[in-house]
Every structure is written in C-alpha cells, then in structure tokens.
Amino acid sequence: MKPVRVLFVCLGNICRSPTAEGVFRHQVAEAGLADRIETDSAGTAAYHIGKSPDPRSQEEAARRGIRIDDLRARRVSEEDFIEFDYVLAMDAQNLRDLEALYEQGGRQGRPPELFLRYAPEGLRNEVPDPYYGGPEGFRHVFDLCRDAANGLLAHIQQQELGKNA
C-alpha cells in the first residue's frame, strides 16, 4: 500500500518545519507506522538550502529527546503537490505562498492547509517565526508542533489508514 506522505513548510526550513517534521516522525515511529507514513519538510525561501536545522531548534528538540540533525533545508516546488498528500504551512504567509505555487502548478493534488488546523481547539492557528527571538520562542514552537502533530497523526490514522484512533 502506498504510504501517506506529509510535507511541512515554513519560510527558511531551518526552524519550524524541521521541528514539525522531527516531532511528527518521532510520533509516527512510536505508533509503529514508519512504513505507512513518510515525512519531509521544505521552505518557501531559498536562503538556507542545504543547511542543517538552526542549532537552537536542534537543541530544543534534543532536550525533548528528538534528533533532527540529519535534516537538510530545501525549497518547496510545484511538484511537491503531486508528491505529497498533505502540504502543511506553519503560518498564513507560508500558506499564501504555497497557494500561489499550487495555482501555478495547475492545482494538482490537494491544496495546502495550515498545520495548526490539526491542533486541539483553542490553540492559535499559526506557528510563530522564532528566528529573531530568544529560546522561549523555540520552546513554544516545539510545544505547538508536538500538539498539532498528535492531532495530525490521529486524523491520518482515521482518514487514511482506516483506524479508530
């Protein structure tokens, strides 16, 4: 059976989307679904192509028992909408940029959506950019990503894998 493929997208692909990918991938592995769900991340901007996640994101993830040092930044492309079942934006600007790319690619595949739509009710709907702030921003990003990743996994188990989560 074809795996479900999930792509997390932010601006630089060095802070928020690698954190989201790392925490979701960890939850997928813990649920024994690593062969059913594939993950990746990308940025709307090209500044950091080929780079490892920001050391502050790596540190915060490591503090929570999750390694993301193997990830490398890349830019999102039109083809990603064909390759991935879920293309998930961290904030509203990322979503607008992805929508433009989706249009440009002839609306193939499913449209992009905000990652935090899978977070529990009442949580904010954007993952704020932590790049120019302090460590508390990176902790907040991790918490938001963990909670939304949980909701996303439950959604995929129900909707795509036919499980009653």
10: contact with ligand 4NP by CB under 6 A: yes
Active site residue 147: no
Q: b/e for 59-90, b at 16 or more Cβ within 10 A?
A: ebbeeeebebeebebbebeeebbeebbbbbbb
User: Would you tell me the crossing angle of helices 135-159 and 16-30 to the nearest 10 degrees?
Assistant: 50
Active site residue 124: no
Torsion of CA 14, 19, 20, 22, to 10 degrees: 110
Q: Which residue has the tokens 């935090």?
A: 116
41: contact with ligand 4NP by CB under 6 A: no
Closer by beta carbon to ligand 4NP, 66 or else 154? 66
Closer by beta carbon to ligand 4NP, 4 or else 114? 114
16: contact with ligand 4NP by CB under 6 A: yes
13: contact with ligand 4NP by CB under 6 A: yes
Catalytic annotation, pick one of 10, 25, 54, 91: 10
Active site residue 67: no
CA distances from 142 to 17, 22, 68, 148, 160 (A): 10, 10, 12, 10, 25
- Closest approach of Cβ 11 to ligand 4NP, in Å? 3
Catalytic annotation, pick one of 54, 91, 97, 129: 129
What are the two backbone dihedrals, phi and then psi, of residue 60, each rounded to the nearest 5 degrees? -65, -40
Catalytic annotation, pick one of 15, 16, 54, 97: 16
56: contact with ligand 4NP by CB under 6 A: no
**Catalytic residue list:** 10, 16, 129
Residues that bind ligand 4NP (CB under 6 A): 10-16, 47, 129, 131
